[in-house]
Amino acid sequence: MTMTETTDFNAIHQPVLLDDCVGLVAPALDRPGAVAVDCTLGLAGHSTAFLAAAPQARLIGIDRDAEALSLATERIARAGFADRFTPVHAAFDALGDVLEERGIDAVDAVFMDLGLSSLQIDETDRGFSYAHDAPLDMRMDPTQPLTAQDVLATYDQRELTRIFKEYGEERFARQIAARIVRDRADAPLTSSGQLTRLVDAVVPQAHRPAGNPAKRVFQALRIEVNGELDKLARTLPQAALHLNVGGRLVVESYHSLEDRTVKRFMAQGLKADVPAGLPVIPEDAMPFLRDLTHGAVKADEAEIARNPRSASVRLRAAEMTRPLPDRWVRRFSEDAESGAYGRSGR
């Protein structure tokens, strides 16, 4: 994207559930020296609003897409908040390292807007969208080596079936994987158009979901290429380890696998960690999170009409109510390394 002095960022990017997110994040930043982290900065629509709503706070914005980071930095500077903003080029599961490198032990808000940014969706040459024919790239960070084309060329049928079934919840995962392996023996799959046509040929007409039948396969490839679910499962415990008491974790998810991971993580701190019926709850087993959204907040019809990309959003938020007990510090430290709970459900 070429930026000019007259670039209208609001036209390029409409932040999803912006008022809800500001209402959840800003109260935690109402003190001198408060620090927020936007782990998925994108084009900084949310972050610009957070800085406007919390004039005493500063914000660290993390993004692995260098182009998005540059545009976001310019947007925040134009809004007059450059002196309270620190851009960081990194993946969001580097949260702990990002804070440690800056000598920050704890923050007051951690925000995550998962999935693709508007920039990635709209830049047709990066192959994220099945609506445009483009090279099968799908890297959020163009400097990483693995691309979607590499996955389709090198993964065996069993591995392809797994990612289509697990990450795309695709009913015809096995058949699509078999067709890919068969067709690539003659010629590699190199474009989004080729993949779309292949899926279209495999999925029976009577069993097609609403919209393009390749949607789930593209989602699965994007998650695999960028390691999105593993990164999420490692980042959530890092956020809990670095939240001040009264700090808030606010997450927007866009498909069921992300939302399930967030819900499962938050549930660990929302209830007493004791067997049912125990007459006295030990102090270190008391809940350490408070549910701020009471389930997932969804976009209403008016927001979906304004911004169709909000149709699948699920917003969840929780507040840290007391210091993490030592055993939870140990557990979350382990999970930050392995992302184990994201797969095991513990």
Residues within the annotated binding site? Answer: 44-46, 63, 92, 113, 120
CA distance linking residue 112 with residue 97, whole number of Å = 17
Supply the DSSP symbol for 37.
E
**229 neighbors 257 (Cβ within 8 angstroms):** yes
Binding residues for S-adenosyl-L-methionine: 44-46, 63, 92, 113, 120
Measured from the Cβ of residue 31, the count of other Cβ atoms closer than 10 Å reads 12
Report which DSSP code applies to 319.
E
104 by DSSP, 3-state: which? coil
| Contact assessment for residue 121 and residue 1, using Cβ atoms and an 8 Å cutoff | no
> 235, 93 in Cβ contact below 8 A?
yes
Can you tell me which residue has the tokens 């079934």? 165
Distances in whole angstroms, Cα of residue 208 to Cα of each of 178, 191, 201, 229: 18, 22, 11, 25
263: number of Cβ within 10 Å: 17
Residues 6 or more apart whose CB falls under 8 angstroms from that of 145 comprise none
Measured over all CA atoms, what is the biggest interatomic distance in the chain, rounded to whole angstroms?
A: 68
Tokens of 1: 């994207």
Q: Find, among 21, 37, 94, the residue nearest to 64 by Cα.
A: 94
Q: Record the tokens describing residue 178, joined without a space.
A: 């078999």
The Cα–Cα gap between 120 and 91 comes to 15
